């Protein structure tokens, strides 16, 4: 018996080592080895990819980790592992991490990919994470770079995270990131997609302008009856010009917090879905090369608070403003903006209107008339503790309202100094007396751990984000050419022209 006990004492450490060996990591150096190891990896396992170019990699991960024991697939030396050619990644298991991969020089079969389909990286499982990856002008196929996608049996992934990634010089159609909870838009008033609870944070977006409604930075959901409950925070959008919508938020109860939009030829849009929140975002245009945007808002019960708008030029085609509140018909395709809190925002030296209460109104009238709907302009608005200030000789008054109704909304504790108001409303001109108002009645969004009342009551905090605050930890120099020059390199511009031509032909 003593001999057996002694033998067990020797065997136990060996058995433990064998059980945890996957956590020590395996290094793979070919596509085939990567596929084989990924099939066998257990929860807590680490698969490291050796330096090199992995052409035509088709990585499908069906194994799952566990809470606290994710499966991690990462570059051995982040930034030195390249996925190229006819590449794709599918994360079909749960609790998976993909880290440190550089996606470039792709040549996927163009006919096999399409807008609103699975992305270059398609997440099908819940609790998955894409971190510290670079997506730079990958190829000429029309698809998103990252999607959360429904499985074949309709299961919706939840609680995924995309963070510290860089998305640059995307020349193809479709958004950079699509977060999906339905296979298509459901517009008949029935129940939409379930809550997703995803987070997109500390990412960098800079992509060139494409013609028409060609896909912006992020889309969340499809239509107003979808539930999002996604948190988009601490991202830097620098010359994110893909289309008029930097972000198109097409679901309910999403929160946008602490993002920076720098010199973007578009707006952050509450496009579909009520009860959304935008807090402490910075909308800045600091040159006069193009028109730059703030927010365009459809729908109701939103909270727009503690945002900073300073735009050296505004977008003429949208109505030259920082904040656009959509006129139209309630709960329609172009839903009326009404019943919301607009509090503790700062509109500083906006070369346009601070708030436009009837942008694109002629289009909305035509739509309402064609569909037998009642046209209205924004109302039931609570404007509290906002600062409107100009010390530059811009010709625009602070407000634009051609229907004489904006002044009938609730105005409390606002200050407007340095320009005409444009509407008859009682607002103090004493900037030195300005202070943010306290808010206490905003209910939290399920699944998002932010104290909205406390954040709003503080007023604007922090400052605009920089590249160093959002970049992949291993990447010093900003990839791509568009952010710094507002034009693509000659080679990328030629590819871009080919993409545009092909899309026009088809």
Q: In 3D, which of 466, 9, 35 has the Cα closest to residue 259? A: 466
Look at residues 74, 71, 59 and name the one whose alpha carbon lies nearest to residue 22.
Answer: 71
| Most distant pair of Cα atoms in the chain: their distance | 96
272 flagged as catalytic: yes
Token pair 């998955």 is at which residue? 128
How does DSSP assign 190-226, residue by residue? S--PPP---EEES-EEEE---SSS---SEEE-SSTT-
The yes-or-no answer on residue 198 being catalytic is: no
446 is annotated as an active-site residue = no
Q: Among 170, 198, 272, 390, which one carries the catalytic annotation?
A: 272
φ/ψ bin of 93: left (φ > 0), alpha (ψ from -120 to 50), beta (otherwise): beta
- Element of type H or E holding 399: strand 399-400
The residue from 104, 116, 202, 250 that is catalytic is 250
**What's the angle, vertex CA 337, arms to CA 336 and CA 338, rounded to 5?**
110
> Residue for token digits 């739509």?
367
Is 310 within 8 Å of 350 (Cβ atoms)?
yes
- The residue annotated as part of the active site, out of 140, 333, 376, 469, is 333
Nearest by Cα to 22 from 38, 39, 37, 44: 44
CB under 8 Å, gap of 24 or more: what pairs does 109-113 form?
109/141, 110/140, 110/141, 110/142, 110/502, 112/141, 113/141, 113/142, 113/143
Beta bridge partners of 341: 303, 382
Name residue, tokens 């602070």: 398
Instruction: Provide the CB-side half-sphere exposure for 341 (13 A, CA).
Output: 23
Q: Tell me, what DSSP letter sits at residue 271?
A: E
CA dihedral 492, 493, 497, 500 (to 10 degrees): 70
Give φ, ψ of 178 to 5 degrees: -120, 120
Q: What does the block give as tokens for 94? A: 């749960």
Write out the E strands in 228-377. Answer: 231-233, 236-240, 245-250, 255-257, 260-262, 267-272, 277-279, 282-285, 295-297, 303-305, 308-311, 321-325, 340-343, 346-348, 353-356
Of 384, 499, 365, 362, which is closest to residue 441 (Cα–Cα)?
Answer: 384
What amino acid positions are annotated as catalytic residues? Answer: 250, 272, 333
């Amino acid at each position: 018996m003593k001999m057996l006990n002694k033998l067990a004492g020797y065997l136990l450490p060996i058995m433990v080592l064998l059980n945890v060996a996957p956590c020590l990591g395996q290094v793979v150096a070919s596509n085939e080895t990567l596929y084989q190891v990924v099939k066998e990896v257990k929860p807590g396992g680490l698969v490291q990819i050796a330096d090199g170019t992995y052409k035509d990699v088709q990585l499908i991960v069906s194994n799952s980790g566990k809470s606290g024991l994710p499966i991690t697939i990462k570059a051995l030396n982040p930034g030195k592992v390249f996925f190229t050619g006819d590449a794709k990644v599918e994360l079909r298991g749960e609790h998976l991490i993909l880290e440190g991969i550089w996606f470039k020089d792709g040549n996927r079969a163009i006919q096999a990919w399409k807008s609103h389909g699975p992305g270059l990286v398609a997440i099908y499982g819940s609790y998955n994470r894409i971190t510290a990856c670079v997506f730079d002008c990958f190829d000429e196929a029309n698809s998103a770079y990252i999607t959360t996608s429904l499985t074949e049996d309709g299961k919706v992934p939840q609680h995924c995270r995309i963070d510290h990634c860089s998305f640059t010089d995307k020349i193809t159609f479709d958004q950079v990131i699509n977060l999906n909870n339905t296979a298509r838009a459901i517009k008949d008033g029935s129940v939409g997609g379930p809550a997703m609870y995803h987070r997109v944070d500390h990412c960098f977006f800079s992509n060139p302008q494409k013609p028409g409604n060609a896909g912006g930075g992020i889309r969340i959901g499809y239509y107003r009856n979808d539930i999002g409950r996604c948190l988009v925070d601490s991202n830097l959008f620098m010359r994110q010009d893909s289309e008029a919508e930097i972000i198109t938020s097409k679901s309910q109860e999403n929160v946008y917090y602490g993002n920076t939009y720098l010199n973007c030829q578009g707006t952050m849009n509450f496009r579909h879905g009520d009860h959304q929140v935008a807090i402490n975002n910075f909308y800045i245009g600091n040159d006069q090369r193009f028109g730059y945007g703030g927010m365009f808002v459809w729908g109701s019960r939103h909270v727009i608070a503690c945002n900073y708008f300073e735009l050296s030029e505004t977008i003429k085609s949208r109505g030259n403003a920082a904040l656009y509140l959509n006129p139209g018909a309630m709960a329609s395709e172009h839903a009326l903006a009404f019943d919301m809190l607009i509090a503790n925002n700062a509109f500083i030296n906006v070369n346009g209107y601070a708030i436009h209460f009837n942008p694109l109104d002629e289009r909305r009238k035509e739509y309402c008339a064609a569909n037998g709907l009642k046209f209205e302009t924004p109302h039931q608005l609570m404007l509290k503790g906002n600062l409107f200030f100009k010390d530059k000789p811009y010709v625009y008054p602070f407000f634009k309202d051609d229907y004489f109704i904006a002044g009938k909304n609730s105005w409390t504790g606002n200050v407007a100094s340095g320009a005409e108001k444009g509407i008859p409303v009682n607002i103090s001109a004493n900037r030195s007396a300005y202070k943010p108002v306290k808010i206490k009645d905003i209910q939290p969004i399920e699944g998002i751990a932010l104290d909205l009342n406390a954040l709003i009551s503080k007023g604007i905090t922090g400052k605009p984000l920089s590249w160093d605050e959002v970049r992949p930890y291993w990447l010093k120099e900003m990839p791509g050419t568009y952010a710094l020059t507002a034009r693509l390199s000659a080679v990328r511009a030629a590819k871009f022209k080919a993409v545009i031509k092909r899309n026009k032909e088809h």
